Chains A and B, each alone.
Chain A
Amino acid sequence: MSCPRSKLSPWISTVVNEHNHELYLNTIVDNKLKPEHIRYIEEHVVKGTTMSQMIQMLERVWTGRTFDERQVTNVLQQIRTDAIEGLKRKGGDIYVLANSLIEKKEEGWDYEMFSDPIDQRLSRVWWITPAQMDLLRDFGNVLVLDTSEGKNIYDYFLLTFVIVDGENVTRNVGYCIHDKQDAGSTHIYARTDISHVPMGLSEHGQTCAQTTNREWLIVFSYIDSPVYRSRYCHSGCCEGYMARALSWDMSLAFGGEHQQAPRFYDQLWSFQIRFLASL
């Protein structure tokens, strides 16, 4: 190689087509993924599996072999693209969901799908498994529910119903995916549902208590104990929400004297959620 001053980059002037040592064949690593590796990835990948997690899994099975990050990423990407193409071929995401729910109904699941009367677009779907029905019957005394956004490609909202079992473990007892954006609608479901339970907690207790929509009654038809039949219900405010709201609103009343307080509550709340997620 030479590097003349007149040029910006080095030049290869002579190529020697010989090795000054023997070629060590055993040091050459074949990084190309074999069909069994790809098959393993296809069988073990789930939503959210990262490239590094998959490499760790592969290295546990094929001890001593190294895997190229780029190749594993390509396979993961390809699997996802194929899955989405497969969904499209089968008539789309919602169609596949509807079919799986129909199949699950034979196993004792229950579900309901609602579509918009004008454009026939899916407006709401909820489902419940037989195990969740049992949990609702046994531990449905206190029901907590909340809506989350940003959990799917269509921007549907996700409503999760939670109870606490006798071992203090959080148990999800129902899911709903719906397209209503305003909090009022969200809590229409909530309020209707909790009309059958002795105590319900939601962020907007009053909103829940004032609404009369009955679309969600069927979910709680699975709760079948005398206390529910009595239809005695209280709705309560979330204490964390209360503390945060108070802190934010009071910052105006006290003239910004405690500007760290709202941030403190947000951090405290975030810490509490991390803790509760482990239960």
Chain B
Amino acid sequence: MSLSKHALTLSVNGSPTEVRAGLHDTLLTVLRDQLQCTAAKRGCNQGVCGACTILVDDRPARACLSLAVNSEGADIRTLEGLNDQPDMRLLQQAFAKAGAFQCGFCTPGMLVSAQALLRGKPAPDAQDVRKALSGNLCRCTGYTRIVSAVLDAAAMIRKEPVAP
């Protein structure tokens, strides 16, 4: 039944994690409400805003569009599991330095998308950054500082090569 919960084992930030999910429950619901991984935000719940962006099998994905029951066997990473990575730390420092946020609601999704961009393309130009972040909406900044923060981080990461 829809309201009954299914016992699932999800791989979250490298650890097999037992959760119980209804058929409608998305990864976002399970991550936030059961596992207290609250970096991914519930914005539109329609796949539009990008605030819930996480990594699934190393690629950015929308947690709000992923059903938990359909996610067993996938490698799920949230910002909580990426915080310790050197390139993510440099990105966060660059965001702080550039003032690349105001309310901060979009920031975790921005960081996940930006890290994925820089891992595939270590020396992007501003247009590449805008394209890569076009699925992440920010209603405060006007994006200018976000784009320059990602470019700054890219330069820092290139100087200080990091093992993923």
The answer to whether A and B interact is no
